[in-house]
Chains A and B, each alone.
Chain A
């Protein structure tokens, strides 16, 4: 007879689960509310989800306190892994989500926000990402990833335009393929080591001294492919521009931040131990991926005629830029990754929100696409403040000091310099120069051209409500005065990254 398995509750320490469970509860709660009383106004759901996110954030603060006291802690049969990376990335995830969700409060009505399911799915997605980053178990990563992705596909589709369906289908199909790659890679690792926990895999491989390296590499190849898809590294990026264009500007901005940071954390867990144990192949491959992604995406961004699509390519390029951190793999580089992403998140959210508030229901005929450049011509005359803040975000994205992203770029390049990647550092620097052109192009349109006829500045703020203005204002101020809070942020990040052994 089998003996009953008894597990002591504290050995589980459920607290580790709290941050992930809160959004789930929130989602269910919203659904329940909808059950009892349907067609409530979206504002209710917005505020509700905001509340739950706030609680989530509080929980994170709590667990970060725990981490500072007694370092990394495992939980739930050692499936959960709450280390510095997990906490930092969750901070970014939840924080960005909190910035995003109020963007639903447009004064034009958009299809998706009228469904409470939208917000439920949104919260599910968040918990998915949180699971993804807070474990080193390949299964849980897979589950988290897919939960999040499936929710995301739906959210995109809910925008309910032809383009958004197309986008969703493309994203979905490629996502499915990526999932296949992931599971195949995981399978090989399992076959090699008999474990699906990254930590153990690492130890086992180190134990037998990478006896059959060939298979390891094959496994890494498949995992790399699937994450390159998530991180939109060339040539796995092809979904990015279309999906960004298809989905609403707000959602696009969100996609350029949250899923990627989750993917980055996993990539960090998966690949850095390999790099440190001297798998030269991976180093070479990553080097190529990074450089190609940065450069090619920049070059394609140059030739775009639609601002949103341009921003899509630029996000791809930024992702490549940050991927360099994983290639370099030093503590400074990893901290740089988080710093960069924090700064990037509100700069990018800001710029996408600018597009979001200028979103028209139907296009005037002189306008080829939603956010074509000429739509912004002469903006300085019609909507000076909007133009100025948009220019601000562009300059920040271009890495012009003292605006937010410059510090990220600088620290990242510095980490490359410190680890002896001189050429890489130069390539990164020059890429910023190339990128300068397309950000400048928008500024040129806004400040140096004459407005298109019948364009009084109203269009640029047609969606603006107080909430949106607040978000943008916050982003703008953060972009300018980033340097003021830079030092504490960096120290916080560095200590967390360092204490979790990266």
Chain B
């Protein structure tokens, strides 16, 4: 079981989904929760078995798929993918547990289980094509969720989501085919295995082209400015559960892919394009934060806020040093938890009032104190208050990038200001002041089921904010490995200079600290 835990993690939900068709629709929800819990337990088992001391891939599996063309079913996790997998299992469980949609809930739950398969698959795939398969497959369930349970514009939103991402990733596919071809030229045999690709050292101009090809696919997924406009529609129209999973996991695919593909495969290109990408990220941070400030719909605020946070993640990723990369990975987890919770919270109020316009609310803190408290907590986490999960990630990301560029970090740092602005403004509009609307006068506070979903998220938010070590350590190990790899295989001097080898640095810091004591 230990050897195949990943395959089990991937295909168990799918199989369970199949069987789900047989369940009576009255008890399907319980079934969904049960499967979610089992899956989550399995993911915890994965974490438990995971050896935090090892930097490389673990639980590797390999089954030939199209060996003559170098396509194999290869799985494996390292410190970076591990926690995203655990997170996705967790979020899906929470999501199903807090599901409120009633119309054909069976289809919904089955779809969610399939979606989970694709998510775990993406984060554990170590073969380009297998990765691509899950990456594309994840679009379908989300398309259905948005399109079938969404708001009035749902069809427009879902098609836009699908086609936009699809188009981007097809270009990525061409990039992958090129990558495999270059590997073929270099070694005489086809291979789509990512670990093989890591060994391939390409001239800089090729790196640039391939980087751009992959970039298009990833950037649309993240989504990076100016490819971000599908996201507000998707979130605005999607049902709560859809937004939760979209924000918490699906967006992470893009940023994860940057770390898994772009950085180790094209170190020189990454260095060469660091500044433009950082500038895009800064635009994401500031511009989308301002757009979020202008929103009237609270869900849109959260949606745009995710784009803004993704900007910080990108910044951390392209810091190209251990601090930055671990920071960005940690921020992925953090943002997963927090944005997930925020969307759930929005869902709570939407279920009660069937509107998300902030002007409809006001003074909710009087009527729903518990709700206000949890929302406040998540708000503070989202603006990156210390001792909340987000701060660790944001701090490390910015800290890391500061080594690369001071002025850009200063600009990116405005995230903590603009973020506070739109979040506090939204909170004020919704919760402060007097209760003006009659229908808000006696709204019920959060109920048991909602608490069931929200309390664990709150606990994680605080726990990992105070004691991130258990997560941060394995991440750090793998981040060091990646940075070391980049340093070793980079060819231009600038890259060598920009990407400090963790080993040397470790020694230097050793000496300096000894000097201090």
Contact = CB atoms under 8 A, between A and B. Distances in A.
A69 interface: no
B133 A436 contact: no
B64 interface: yes
Contact of B159 (A401, A410, A440, A486): A440
A489 to B, nearest CB: 10
Interface residues of B, number: 36
Contact of A400 (B129, B136, B178): B136
Interface string B167-194: 1001101100110110010000000000
Interface in B219-256: none
Interface stretch (B66-74, B392-400, B502-510): B66-74
Interface stretch (A19-27, A210-218, A313-321, A425-433): A425-433
Contacts of A410: 129, 173, 177
A401 B65 CA distance: 14
Contacts of A236: none
Contacts of A422: 178
Contacts of A172: none
A401 B118 CA distance: 12
Indicate the member of A411, A414, A422, A449 with the most B CB atoms within 10 Å. Answer: A414
B431 to A, nearest CB: 35
Given A436-B163, A444-B147, A483 B177 contact: no
Contacts of B147: 444, 447-448
Contacts of B181: 414, 417-418
Given A414-B180, A433-B170, A401 B132 contact: yes
A491 interface: yes
B279 interface: no
Interface in B50-73: 64-69
Interface string A392-411: 00010000111000110011
Contacts of B66: 407, 483, 486-487, 490
A448 B180 CA distance: 38
Interface in A426-465: 426, 429-430, 432-433, 436-437, 440, 443-444, 447-449
A327 interface: no
B232 to A, nearest CB: 20
Contacts of A414: 69, 177, 180-181
Nearest to A490: B68
A261 interface: no
A448 B173 contact: no
Contacts of B133: 401-402, 406
Contacts of B67: 487
Interface in B130-179: 132-133, 136-137, 139-140, 143-144, 147-148, 154-155, 158-159, 162-163, 166-167, 170-171, 173-174, 177-178
A96 B67 CA distance: 27
A387 to B, nearest CB: 11
B107 interface: yes
Contacts of B173: 410, 413, 429
A325 interface: no
Given A410-B129, A437-B159, A380 B174 contact: no
A429 B140 contact: no
A376 B183 CA distance: 46
A447 B163 contact: no
Contact of B69 (A401, A411, A429, A440): A411
A14 B71 CA distance: 42
A426 B168 CA distance: 11
Contacts of B136: 400-401
A483 B155 contact: no
A483 B66 CA distance: 8
B21 to A, nearest CB: 9
A400 B140 contact: yes
B148 A447 contact: yes
Interface in A444-502: 444, 447-449, 483, 486-487, 490-491, 494
Interface string B425-453: 00000000000000000000000000000
Given A418-B181, A433-B167, A486-B66, A448 B174 contact: no
Contacts of B159: 437, 440, 444
B177 A401 contact: no
A400 B137 contact: yes
Contacts of B139: 400
A429 B162 CA distance: 15
- Chain A interface residue bracket vs B: 35 or more
B174 A425 contact: yes
B174 A429 contact: yes
Given A401-B133, A413-B177, A414-B177, A448 B171 contact: no
Contacts of A407: 66
A444 B155 contact: yes
B163 A426 contact: no
B170 A432 contact: yes
Given A400-B137, A448-B147, A429 B171 contact: yes
A395 B140 contact: yes
Contacts of A490: 66, 68-69
Contacts of A402: 133, 137
Given A433-B170, A487-B68, A448 B163 contact: no
Nearest to B137: A401
Given A447-B148, A486-B66, A437 B163 contact: yes
Given A410-B177, A417-B177, A448-B155, A486 B137 contact: no
Contacts of B174: 413, 417, 425-426, 429
Contact of A426 (B132, B137, B171): B171
B170 A429 contact: yes
Interface string B80-117: 00000000000000000000000010010000000000
A412 to B, nearest CB: 10
Contacts of A418: 181, 184
Nearest to B170: A429
Contacts of B171: 426, 429-430
Given A401-B133, A491-B68, A448 B158 contact: yes
Contacts of B68: 487, 490-491, 494
Contacts of B148: 447-448
Indicate the member of A401, A406, A407 with the most B CB atoms within 10 Å. Answer: A401
A440 B147 CA distance: 11
Contacts of A437: 159, 163
A433 B139 CA distance: 13
Given A417-B181, A425-B177, A444-B147, A487 B64 contact: yes
A486 B170 contact: no
Contacts of A429: 170-171, 173-174
A275 B147 CA distance: 48
A436 B177 contact: no
Contact of B65 (A381, A395, A447, A486): A486
B170 A430 contact: yes
Nearest to A486: B66
Contacts of B184: 418
A348 to B, nearest CB: 20
Nearest to A425: B174
B131 to A, nearest CB: 10
Contacts of A380: 107
B70 to A, nearest CB: 10
Contacts of B177: 410, 413-414, 417, 425
A415 to B, nearest CB: 9
Contact of B166 (A381, A433, A449, A494): A433
Closest 3 CB pairs of A and B: A433-B167, A401-B133, A448-B147
22 contacts: A380-B107, A401-B132, A401-B133, A401-B136, A401-B137, A406-B133, A410-B129, A411-B69, A414-B180, A414-B181, A417-B181, A430-B171, A436-B163, A436-B166, A436-B167, A440-B159, A443-B143, A444-B158, A448-B148, A448-B154, A487-B64, A490-B66
Given A425-B177, A444-B155, A447-B144, 10 more contacts: A381-B104, A407-B66, A433-B163, A433-B167, A436-B162, A437-B159, A440-B163, A448-B148, A483-B65, A486-B65
